[in-house]
Chain A
Amino acid sequence: MIQMINTLSTALLAAQDAVTPATFWMPEGASTVSADVDWAFMFVTWVSYFFFALIVGLMIVFVIRYRHRKGERFRTDGMTHHGPLEALWIIIPLLISIAIFFFGFKGYLDLAQPPKNTFDIEVVAKKWQWSFTYPNGAISTNMDGLFVPAGKPVRLIMRSYDVLHAFFVPNFRVKRDVVPGRRVALWFQCDFPTGEDASKAYNFFCAEYCGTGHSNMGGKVYVLGETEFAEWMAKQANWIEDIPDDQLYQIAGPKLYAQCSQCHTLDGSTGQGPSWKGIMDRISAGTGKFTNGQSYADIIGPGKVYETPEDYIRDSILNPGRYIVQTFTNVMPTFKGQMNERKIDAVIGLMKHLDQFDSKGKLLSGTAAK
């Protein structure tokens, strides 16, 4: 009995039981809205076929039938106007337009309104990289791909650090501009797992022109089954544990710095926050001041607030608002929960060995461990 109800409800609820195959016009459709969008697209396309055939057909027939031969008197029996006929071809296109508008509007409501209980992923776009932060703190970039659970509505909460970008997944028929200064949302649901196989995963693109790297600012969307996704997310959050201790900052440093690079430069230029160039020397010198008037020397040292410079840096990552370096403001979010001790060690390692990295935080080739 229960089995019967389950089968019945699955049959009723499932909008489709497989991805819609690619056609001449549309790529494979894999989201819960794609079939509806395709239907509206094909409806308009068939309307277009009809009117194109009508107009071009009449044009060809008339041109052949009413060719003029030189020297002939012009026939003048063609009508010059016909009110009812002209009214007819105002009314018919109007009715068709209203129908098309309605189909597009109906589909758009589904796109614009995410269901309740979405699985939320934080997305940051910047020239020319996407980074995705999952609820457990796991992070992936467009190089790794976006990983989403199958059969759950997924909501991307997106912001841009610089110019306009747009997140576009053709197979899901969704697109949204990422406007700097705003947090925008896009949602989709895909019911069909692709696994971690890049050849089966779906492409996503940046669709709003953003400069040099625009055409390479894309990647793959992997749709994983529920347990598979949970495993992936846990593994992704703990990636740092798998790195050997002696290569920790060299391997993990660049990846972690990518999250800091928008505000902290490595080349000495001023960003939203202090540059990391020479940061260890500045702290040791002790003269730098905070907005509350105290200096490094006042708070760092045996018996003071922080016993070591490393302790000060660790706390700046976890409680960034406690001491603000002069001329800067309290804008840094806390990384509590996202940065464990090992990640903090890797970041401090990077700060101590900046000579091994280039100004973008990439490990210089000669210095790679062993």
Chain B
Amino acid sequence: MTTLEAHKPETLDIHASSDNYLTHSKGFISWACTLDHKRIGVMYLVGVLGAFFVGGIFAILVRTELLAPGPTIVGPFAKWMGMDPADVYNQWFTLHGAIMVFLVIIPSIPAALGNFILPVMLGAKDVAFPKLNLFSFYLWVIGALMAVLSLLMGGFDTGWTFYTPYSTTSPAGGVIPIVAGAFILGFSSIFTGMNFIVTIHKLRPPGMTWFKMPLFLWAIYSTAIIQVLATPVLAITLLLLIIERTVNIGIFNPSMGGDPVLYQHFFWFYSHPAVYIMIVPAMGIVSELISVHSHRHIFGYRFIAFSSVAIAMFSFIVWGHHMFTSGQSALMNTIFSAISFSVGIPSAVKVFNWTITLYKGNISLNTPMLYGLAFLFLFTIGGLTGLHLATLSVDVHLHDTYFVVAHFHYVMMGSALIAMIGGLHHWWPKITGRMYNENWGRFAWVLVFVGFNVTFFTQFMLGSQGMPRRYYDYLPEFQTYHVISTVGSYIMSVGFFITAGYLLASLVNGKRAPANPWGGRSLEWQCPSPPPHDNFKTPPRVGDCYDFSIVRWSDEENGYVVDRSLDPSLRENPTPAKGH
């Protein structure tokens, strides 16, 4: 009864007021102690983008060093730090990997964008546990500080995978702090996941059944399940590693009676699902980008929703495909190879469904859409090259070469991070209340897209021709591809710097954003930009979030509006249709 009352037709106030979440309270303390999911999301966003900048600097150092065989630019650094030039390089690629994985990609979509958008999409005022949310942000900060501490204590050169016994015997002084940092970041991830699971279960508005949720929420939900179930295994593994290194209890080091392959099993039991912690939310964003900017009902909603869940479940039983050459038994290799192919199916389903969503759509090539299409292009390459690596005999040749490096950059960066940047452009007007310059946006997109492919496609050939990964020095015959790859990375960097430039500029002189600049239909587009402190003054009504038939352009709003008068059935019967 109360539900019905809450669903009386009402007009949502979509006009930005001077009292929004940014202006609601002022001062450093009001941000540092905020329980507002939007402010926490913004703080995550600043942190994640800062870490992305640092990780990117290391990427550029690594690529520049590889311009020629032998020392290229490490010399002065080696002298300054009193290290072997090769160790300087080893620290660079390790830092690049560890920062990008633990500080950037894992928290980027769920913790930064998810925090901001998820409650608004639900029409809720906040997440279920706002204090836990703030706590997990501070855990992220502590984890980031541990990374800085490890640098001050001598850095670390173990690779982001911390493989034993190298990591338990490496003389580098910063191994324990960074491993402890990853341990703490893991808890940040677990708490965020728990928070989102409860929020989606308990705070959905009346009328929003599971199959009326935006697909982004399905993706965040699937991700949260992996975060909560897989991350504790990483925590235990890292703790065991610290124990082995500090008190010399033999767990992974064979000279003390341990087994290094056990470490790999433990590590990948988390880190393979973690790959999906990175990619599944990206898939959620892409479902939104493609549908909203095509102004067209997503094709095969249920298949896309279930494929997120399917990927989350399969992700737990394929970890052994990282270990085909490690000494795992041939029988296990065979089983893991077979299961690994099964992950390809739900991914393929999604790609086909997104493609068909474009068919008979109303496609606007806004910057977020360009990133959505780039995702489709890059994820197709990343996914298909996964087939090479799941194929047993072929993987034996390709394992630990640049082919693997290229493959996971197509998936982790070309897909997860590109989707994140697409999502950032998509929700930027909502978050900041400002529009960025579309022309600069499209121009930077071209540089990022072209630069990315030049950088990483060459690495497929490098790898299949036999160039092993994590090499400071290499044979002269590999130089041509390395030079092309490095040039690509410079093109991409220019694209990212331009992106940072126009986004920051929009904060100063960007046009005021309307509530609904793209023609979206889900609830966050029916709330002012930027949203008020409580998101919605009156409880919003829930419809089919992919039905664009009642979305139209409005000149006076200078944006799109959801106009129920366009649909006769809605006019006659104001109560929302029951979920089926």
Q: Which residues of A contact B (CB under 8 A)?
A: 22, 24-27, 33, 36-37, 40-41, 44-45, 47-48, 51-52, 55-56, 58-59, 62-63, 66-68, 70-82, 85-86, 89-90, 93-94, 97-98, 100-101, 103-112, 162-164, 166, 168, 170-171, 173-177, 179-182, 184, 203, 205-216
Distance of A361 from chain B, by nearest CB (Å): 20
Please provide the chain B residues from 146 to 161 with a CB less than 8 Å away from any CB of chain A in the complex.
Answer: 157, 159
Q: Tell me which of B157, B159, B254 contacts A181 (CB under 8 A).
A: B254
Q: Are A63 and B327 in contact (CB under 8 A)?
A: no
Q: Are A212 and B87 in contact (CB under 8 A)?
A: yes
Known: A100-B391, A206-B468, A211-B166. A179 touches B299 (CB 8 A): no
Q: Tell me which of B159, B259, B384, B401 contacts A48 (CB under 8 A).
A: B384
A-B pair number, CB within 8 angstroms:
276
Q: Are A48 and B553 in contact (CB under 8 A)?
A: no
A51-B380, A67-B363 given. 15 additional CB < 8 A pairs? A26-B464, A26-B465, A40-B394, A58-B355, A68-B362, A75-B362, A82-B299, A86-B352, A108-B334, A168-B468, A177-B325, A207-B400, A208-B400, A212-B84, A212-B87
Q: Are B342 and A68 in contact (CB under 8 A)?
A: no
Known: A76-B549, A78-B299, A166-B325. A66 touches B359 (CB 8 A): yes
Within the assembled complex, what's the spacing in Å between the Cα atoms of A37 and B398?
A: 11
Say whether B205 faces chain A, with CB atoms less than 8 Å apart. no
Q: Are B165 and A163 in contact (CB under 8 A)?
A: yes
- 8 pairs across A/B with beta carbons < 8 Å? A25-B461, A68-B361, A73-B552, A108-B334, A179-B261, A180-B165, A206-B468, A215-B468
- Which 5 pairs from chain A and chain B are nearest by CB? A181-B254, A170-B466, A107-B393, A104-B391, A108-B392
Please provide the chain B residues from 328 to 343 with a CB less than 8 Å away from any CB of chain A in the complex.
Answer: 330, 333-334, 337-338, 341-342
Within the assembled complex, what's the spacing in Å between the Cα atoms of A44 and B355?
A: 22
Please provide the chain B residues from 460 to 510 with a CB less than 8 Å away from any CB of chain A in the complex.
Answer: 461, 464-466, 468-475
Within the assembled complex, what's the spacing in Å between the Cα atoms of A211 and B171?
A: 10
**Chain B residues positioned under 8 Å from A94 (CB to CB):** 345
B298 closest partner in A (C-beta): A80
Distance of B98 from chain A, by nearest CB (Å): 14
Within the assembled complex, what's the spacing in Å between the Cα atoms of A208 and B472?
A: 13
Q: Are B364 and A177 in contact (CB under 8 A)?
A: no
Q: Are A45 and B388 in contact (CB under 8 A)?
A: yes
Q: Are A74 and B384 in contact (CB under 8 A)?
A: no
Known: A25-B461, A80-B301, A208-B400. A104 touches B390 (CB 8 A): yes
**Chain B residues positioned under 8 Å from A168 (CB to CB):** 400, 466, 468
Within the assembled complex, what's the spacing in Å between the Cα atoms of A166 and B470?
A: 13
Say whether B296 faces chain A, with CB atoms less than 8 Å apart. yes
Q: Are B301 and A181 in contact (CB under 8 A)?
A: no
Say whether B381 faces chain A, with CB atoms less than 8 Å apart. yes
Say whether B385 faces chain A, with CB atoms less than 8 Å apart. yes
**Chain A residues positioned under 8 Å from B576 (CB to CB):** none
Q: Are A81 and B387 in contact (CB under 8 A)?
A: no
Within the assembled complex, what's the spacing in Å between the Cα atoms of A108 and B86?
A: 35
B460 closest partner in A (C-beta): A25
Say whether B365 faces chain A, with CB atoms less than 8 Å apart. yes
Distance of A177 from chain B, by nearest CB (Å): 5
The interface size bin for chain B is 35 or more
Within the assembled complex, what's the spacing in Å between the Cα atoms of A101 and B344?
A: 12
Say whether B163 faces chain A, with CB atoms less than 8 Å apart. yes
**Chain A residues positioned under 8 Å from B399 (CB to CB):** 175, 207
**Chain B residues positioned under 8 Å from A104 (CB to CB):** 337, 390-395
Within the assembled complex, what's the spacing in Å between the Cα atoms of A33 and B397?
A: 11
Within the assembled complex, what's the spacing in Å between the Cα atoms of A91 and B381?
A: 21
Known: A51-B380, A104-B393, A111-B393. A181 touches B360 (CB 8 A): no
Q: Tell me which of A47, A59, A210 contacts B384 (CB under 8 A).
A: A47
Q: Are A111 and B396 in contact (CB under 8 A)?
A: yes
Distance of B397 from chain A, by nearest CB (Å): 4
Q: Tell me which of A66, A105, A177 contacts B327 (CB under 8 A).
A: A177
Q: Are A209 and B166 in contact (CB under 8 A)?
A: yes
Q: Are A90 and B345 in contact (CB under 8 A)?
A: yes
Known: A74-B551, A108-B330. A89 touches B349 (CB 8 A): yes
Q: Are A93 and B395 in contact (CB under 8 A)?
A: no
A62 closest partner in B (C-beta): B358
Say whether B260 faces chain A, with CB atoms less than 8 Å apart. yes
Known: A62-B361, A175-B399, A179-B327. A205 touches B552 (CB 8 A): no
A113 closest partner in B (C-beta): B330
**Chain B residues positioned under 8 Å from A176 (CB to CB):** 325, 327
Within the assembled complex, what's the spacing in Å between the Cα atoms of A74 and B560?
A: 12
Known: A101-B337, A108-B334, A179-B260. A205 touches B393 (CB 8 A): no
**Chain A residues positioned under 8 Å from B330 (CB to CB):** 108-109, 112
**Chain A residues positioned under 8 Å from B87 (CB to CB):** 211-212
**Chain B residues positioned under 8 Å from A215 (CB to CB):** 86, 468, 470-474
A81 closest partner in B (C-beta): B300
Q: Are A62 and B397 in contact (CB under 8 A)?
A: no
B93 closest partner in A (C-beta): A209
B327 closest partner in A (C-beta): A179
Q: Are A213 and B86 in contact (CB under 8 A)?
A: yes
Q: Are A105 and B301 in contact (CB under 8 A)?
A: no
Distance of A205 from chain B, by nearest CB (Å): 5
Q: Are B333 and A86 in contact (CB under 8 A)?
A: no
Q: Tell me which of B355, B394, B401 contacts A59 (CB under 8 A).
A: B355
Q: Are B473 and A86 in contact (CB under 8 A)?
A: no
**Chain B residues positioned under 8 Å from A66 (CB to CB):** 294, 358-363
Q: Tell me which of B296, B349, B392, B400 contacts A105 (CB under 8 A).
A: B392
Q: Are A37 and B472 in contact (CB under 8 A)?
A: no
Please provide the chain B residues from 537 to 578 with a CB less than 8 Å away from any CB of chain A in the complex.
Answer: 546, 548-549, 551-553
Report B206-219 CB contacts with A as 1/0, cut-off 8 Å. Answer: 00000000000000
Within the assembled complex, what's the spacing in Å between the Cα atoms of A142 and B388?
A: 30
Distance of A111 from chain B, by nearest CB (Å): 6
**Chain A residues positioned under 8 Å from B303 (CB to CB):** 81, 86
Q: Are A174 and B373 in contact (CB under 8 A)?
A: no
Distance of B522 from chain A, by nearest CB (Å): 16
Within the assembled complex, what's the spacing in Å between the Cα atoms of A274 and B340?
A: 50
Within the assembled complex, what's the spacing in Å between the Cα atoms of A170 and B464?
A: 8
Within the assembled complex, what's the spacing in Å between the Cα atoms of A73 and B560?
A: 12
Within the assembled complex, what's the spacing in Å between the Cα atoms of A33 and B362?
A: 52
Known: A25-B461, A58-B355, A180-B254. A74 touches B548 (CB 8 A): yes
Q: Are A75 and B360 in contact (CB under 8 A)?
A: yes
**Chain B residues positioned under 8 Å from A164 (CB to CB):** 163, 165-166, 260
Say whether B326 faces chain A, with CB atoms less than 8 Å apart. yes
Q: Are A216 and B473 in contact (CB under 8 A)?
A: yes
Q: Are B341 and A100 in contact (CB under 8 A)?
A: yes
**Chain A residues positioned under 8 Å from B337 (CB to CB):** 101, 104-105, 108
Q: Are B86 and A212 in contact (CB under 8 A)?
A: yes
Within the assembled complex, what's the spacing in Å between the Cα atoms of A59 and B375?
A: 12
Known: A86-B349, A164-B163, A208-B400. A78 touches B394 (CB 8 A): no
Within the assembled complex, what's the spacing in Å between the Cα atoms of A282 and B360?
A: 90
Say whether B272 faces chain A, with CB atoms less than 8 Å apart. no
Say whether B295 faces chain A, with CB atoms less than 8 Å apart. yes
Within the assembled complex, what's the spacing in Å between the Cα atoms of A170 and B296?
A: 49
B361 closest partner in A (C-beta): A66
**Chain B residues positioned under 8 Å from A70 (CB to CB):** 553
**Chain B residues positioned under 8 Å from A44 (CB to CB):** 384, 387-388, 391, 394
Q: Are B333 and A108 in contact (CB under 8 A)?
A: yes
**Chain B residues positioned under 8 Å from A107 (CB to CB):** 392-394
A171 closest partner in B (C-beta): B466
Known: A66-B294, A94-B345, A177-B327. A52 touches B359 (CB 8 A): no
**Chain B residues positioned under 8 Å from A77 (CB to CB):** 360
**Chain B residues positioned under 8 Å from A40 (CB to CB):** 391, 393-394
Distance of A186 from chain B, by nearest CB (Å): 9
**Chain B residues positioned under 8 Å from A170 (CB to CB):** 397, 465-466
